[in-house]
Amino acid sequence: MGGIWGLAASTALENLPVEARGLASGVLQQGYAVGYLLAACINLKLVPDTPVGWRSLFWTAAGISLFAAGIRAVLPESEVFLRAKAIEKAKGTSTGKKTKVFVKETGAMLRRHWLLCIYAVLLMTGFNFLSHGSQDLYPTYLQESKGFSPHNATVATIIGNCGAIAGGFFAGWISQYLGRRLTIVIFVLLIGAFIPLWILPTSFGGLSAGAFWVQVGVQGAWGVIPIQLAEMSPPAFRATFPGVAYQLGNMVSSAASQIEATGGENLRTNIVVNGVLKNVPDYATVQGILIGVVAAFVVFITIIGPEYVSMDCHHRSRSPVRLLRKHGSHFEKHRTAFEEGAAQDNALFEDEILAERERESRAQEGESVDEKNEKTSEERVEERV
């Protein structure tokens, strides 16, 4: 997963028009929610009817992953990558040299953007706590603290993921107009507004509604993350930087379920199950506190963070091109990480094109001067005659 996500986000976004990338970000990220939804459906119908139980879910998921790999294998490579590869082939750069260049440019990028790297890891720590804290132990919460059957807990999970898909699509699209940070803040505040509906009801309908709206907020905010990280990243590292930041945040947040389980064991409540009073872990209160604290942290870290946009200006060659102010939305115009100077924020791919055009322009100017000189000589001969 660590290898796939950054590459998938970069490939999906860099080949699309800038105006469509917000929506595409939401669609891309909701592959997560669609997979979760599919897994819940399999758990609902297939797992109870197979002798191997939960293992059938893992085997099915493995087959789906293999199918996805096959689909990707037959799809064409990114045009941006092919363009950069063609330039490197023309230069005769070997694989060994490209590796050395990549390591060198990575070091230069880290020295230049170490603070941004720390910020990205903190941002993704908050986001991963938000998703895992509201999802991983959710079926257990419904069964242990609310007395739901496994069937109803799974159905509620499915309803929550429907909200996640809707929220991701809408948030990705609206971020194109409101901005990435403002959209994230709005959807995280939506989570806070629906935490009471997430934990207070005892009926299936009330808790399912809470799951729907909380996941609209969680995955709505997440729907902006692929494009936010892509625009935030040093452009040459738009596959490596988001993927590593995502998984480092994921590593830190892996404690979410353990925190909730430990909290539930120490904070308990009583519920009535089939007319009998039963003492159970109070996962509702624990999850409400955790999600509320994490949501506040995500709002804070998002507000103090950067939002990168592009601006029109002129290149040093005086040709009108689009440069990036602190990276930005036109990251596909930047050199790739295995090219010399890629760690520089203004090392645009257009440099190669502009240099070639300048050479052609000079050659054409030279031909024009020669033609003019020849014509002048002919006129002089005629005047002498």
The residues, ordered by sequence, that sit 6+ positions from 37 with a Cβ below 8 Å of its Cβ are 158, 161, 162, 165
pLDDT at site 100: 85
Per-10-residue mean pLDDT of the chain, 385 residues long, equals: 82 84 91 90 88 89 90 84 76 74 86 91 95 92 91 93 95 92 96 94 94 96 92 84 91 92 90 82 93 96 78 37 46 71 68 59 63 51 51
For residue 141, give Cα distances in angstroms to 126, 137, 150, 255, 260.
21, 6, 11, 17, 10
pLDDT at site 374: 52
* Model pTM score: 0.80
pLDDT at site 312: 38
pLDDT at site 325: 41
Give the phi and the psi of residue 242 in degrees, each rounded to 5: -65, -40
pLDDT at site 314: 36
pLDDT at site 323: 35
pLDDT at site 367: 56
pLDDT at site 322: 36
Strands (E) across 161-244 are located at none
CA distance 103 to 89: 19
The residues, ordered by sequence, that sit 6+ positions from 185 with a Cβ below 8 Å of its Cβ are 299, 302, 303
For residue 308, which of 372, 368, 230, 256 has the smallest C-alpha distance?
Answer: 230
